[in-house]
């Protein structure tokens, strides 16, 4: 028998290891179980038994997360995606469901609302730390899954459902909210209604001069990808939700610019596009990234090549999110 066949034969059936390590976790031996998950899954991978490695890592990630061991669970979740890559596992709905299953057990940390004494402050500080750990772990896992999906069969930007998951988790769990990052993933997602409701929720608690910027950023991000339909769908859904909740839709020069821009891009009207940029320059300049996004829009809709080789800076920054 060859050395390779011996190595394959020496590994126990995966269910035996799953049961053994589940018992260790239920007994509270989180660290010991973690080391075993990593070492045993590595042996399965080395033997090219990728399916069994995935079964073990999925089980371990879910169990650790359910027991509140976020750092351990996130590490195994990322190893799950690494194994997809090493095994060159093609993107499919079954694997997507398994990624979603792991995502759904990542905790959401409620932050205390009242701080009346030192004990309340201590609890709040601990909750902030826990929320940051959850966000970092879940973000690392989903970013890796998005990259895998893009490389192994989903769309060029990665699976839209994964982008939507990441956008929702960032919005709900960020202690220092970055709406640019949330919007980056929502516009690559497949849930404009959820995106709209997230923006409406943000508008209800942001500073007065931030609501129209959030709307404009979302629309411009769609348009920078050449997605005029998505931009219009978002605006329509935003207006519908604002009206149904009897709220006021922001009225500003920036929102007016976005409204005119959407109409302009329906036709071949480059002179009007340039006139809009000039007339609303002061509003556009409120957000540094808007000029970059508008250059991308001009390239997508009118074929205007950028003259400055340094342009694309903001797009590159967004890609790092």
Q: What is the pLDDT of residues 236-293, one digit of tens each?
A: 999 999 999 988 899 999 999 999 999 999 998 999 999 999 999 999 999 999 999 9
Residue in this structure with the two tokens 């490695």, named with its chain if needed:
53
Question: Following CA atoms 218, 221, 223, 224 in sequence, which dihedral angle do they give, to the nearest 10 degrees?
Answer: 170
**Residue 47: which of 97, 7, 20 has the closest Cα?**
7
Residue 115 has a pLDDT of 52
Q: Is the pLDDT of residue 78 over 60?
A: yes
Q: For residue 128, with 0-12 CB atoms within 10 Å meaning exposed, 13-18 middle and 19 or more buried, which class applies?
A: middle
pLDDT digits over 83-111, tens only?
A: 999 999 999 999 999 999 999 999 987 76
Q: What is the pTM of this model?
A: 0.88
Q: Report the 10 Å Cβ neighbour count for 142.
A: 26
> For all residues of the chain together, what is the average pLDDT?
90
The structure tokens listed for 164 are 């939507």
Domains in the chain, CATH or no CATH each: 10-109+123-158 (1.25.40.10), 202-320 (1.25.40.10)
Q: Is the pLDDT of residue 193 over 70?
A: yes
Please check whether residue 214 is in contact with residue 182, taking contact to mean a CB–CB distance below 8 angstroms.
no
What are the start-end ranges of the H helices in 87-210?
Answer: 93-104, 118-151, 160-173, 179-186, 192-203
Residue in this structure with the two tokens 């769609």, named with its chain if needed:
222
Q: Is the pLDDT of residue 301 over 70?
A: yes
Long-range contacts of 100-105 (CB under 8 A, 24+ apart): 100/161, 100/165, 101/58, 101/62, 102/58, 102/61, 102/62, 102/65, 102/77, 102/141, 103/138, 103/141, 103/142, 103/165, 103/169, 105/61, 105/62, 105/65, 105/66, 105/73
* More confidently predicted of 125 and 47: 47
């Amino acid at each position: 028998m060859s050395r390779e066949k011996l190595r394959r034969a020496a590994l126990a059936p995966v269910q035996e290891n799953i049961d053994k390590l589940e018992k260790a976790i239920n007994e509270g031996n989180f660290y010991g179980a973690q080391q075993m998950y990593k070492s045993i899954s590595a042996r399965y991978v080395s033997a090219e038994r990728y399916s069994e490695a995935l079964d073990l890592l999925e089980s371990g990630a879910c169990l650790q997360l359910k027991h509140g061991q976020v750092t351990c669970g996130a590490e195994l979740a990322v190893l799950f995606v690494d194994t997809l890559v090493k095994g060159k596992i093609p993107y499919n709905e079954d694997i997507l469901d398994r990624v979603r299953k792991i995502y759904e057990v990542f905790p959401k940390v409620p932050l205390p609302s009242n701080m009346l004494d030192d004990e309340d402050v201590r609890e709040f500080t601990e909750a902030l730390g826990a929320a940051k750990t959850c966000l970092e772990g879940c973000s690392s896992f989903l970013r890796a899954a998005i990259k895998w999906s893009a490389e192994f069969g989903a769309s060029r930007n990665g699976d839209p459902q994964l982008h939507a998951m990441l956008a929702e988790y960032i919005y709900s769990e960020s202690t220092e909210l970055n709406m640019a990052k949330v919007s980056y993933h929502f516009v690559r997602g497949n849930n404009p209604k959820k995106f709209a409701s997230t923006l409406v929720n943000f508008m209800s608690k942001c500073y007065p001069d931030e609501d129209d910027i959030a709307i404009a950023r979302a629309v411009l991000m769609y348009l920078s990808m050449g997605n005029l339909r998505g931009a219009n769908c978002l605006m329509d859904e935003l207006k519908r939700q604002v009206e149904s909740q009897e709220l006021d839709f922001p009225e500003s020069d920036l929102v007016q610019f976005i409204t005119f821009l959407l109409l302009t891009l329906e036709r071949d009207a480059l002179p009007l596009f340039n006139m809009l940029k000039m007339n609303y320059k002061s509003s556009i300049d409120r957000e540094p990234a808007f000029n970059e996004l508008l250059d991308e829009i001009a390239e997508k809709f009118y074929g205007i090549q950028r003259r400055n080789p340094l342009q694309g800076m903001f797009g590159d920054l967004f890609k790092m999110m």
